[in-house]
Amino acid sequence: MANIHNFEVKTIDGASKSLADYKGKALVIVNVASRCGLTPQYAGLEALQKEFGPQGFAVLGFPANEFGAQEPGTDAEIKTFCSTSYDVSFDMFSKVKVKGDGIHPLFAALTGDEKHGGEIKWNFNKFLVDKEGNVVGRFEPQVEPSNPDFRTAIQKTLV
């Protein structure tokens, strides 16, 4: 798989950002949605950001509308929802396609990964990336951010 540090993305405010800016940090890349039964995971993701952020960790949220049209808003509406409903401080990005025609190149690479790939089936799929930009784990939507196995995997990337 291509190193994720080689990708360019757009922030939720529309600015270009290189994922190379995250070199040296462990990451969780997650496709998010505001009107999903799993939306409360925003709170758990924010808790992870606050706990592990000072140790070189970042959550990267990518809104997507492929599943049940549960992220229909504009980037500005999504940003407002995240800040007012969950006080999200982790980095959020512009809405992307995470499967099918028009899939964002980052998600094409993530889902094409030999070991951790495969089509994303729902919102809040979490890809764990090490400090060098390699995907080292994938956690399905039903795995809560507080899940002990998920937390342990994050901690291992911080060593």
- Token representation of residue 46: 């924010």
Per-residue pLDDT of the chain (159 residues; tens, 9 = 90+): 679 999 999 999 999 999 999 999 999 999 999 999 999 999 999 999 999 999 999 999 999 999 999 999 999 999 999 999 999 999 999 999 999 999 999 999 999 988 888 999 999 999 999 999 999 999 999 999 999 999 999 999 998
Would you state the pLDDT for residue 30?
Answer: 98
Would you state the pLDDT for residue 1?
Answer: 62
Identify which of 4, 120, 121, 113 has the alpha carbon closest to the alpha carbon of residue 60. 4
Nearest-angstrom CA–CA distance, 100 and 29: 18
DSSP state at residue 11:
B
In terms of DSSP H, where are the helices of the chain? 41-52, 75-86, 105-112, 148-157
Would you state the pLDDT for residue 35?
Answer: 94
H and E: helices and strands count for the chain? 4, 7
SS3 111: helix
Write the DSSP string, 74-110. -HHHHHHHHHHHH---SEEB-----SSTT--HHHHHH
- Token representation of residue 44: 């758990």
Would you state the pLDDT for residue 118?
Answer: 92
Domains of the chain: total: 1
Would you state the pLDDT for residue 69?
Answer: 94
Residues in CB range of 57: below 8 A, 6 or more apart? 25, 26, 27, 28, 48, 49, 154, 157, 158
Instruction: Give me the active site residues, please.
Output: 36
Residue linked to tokens 């899939």 = 103
Q: What is the CATH number of the domain that holds 50?
A: 3.40.30.10
Would you state the pLDDT for residue 2?
Answer: 74
Structural domain span for residue 121: 4-157
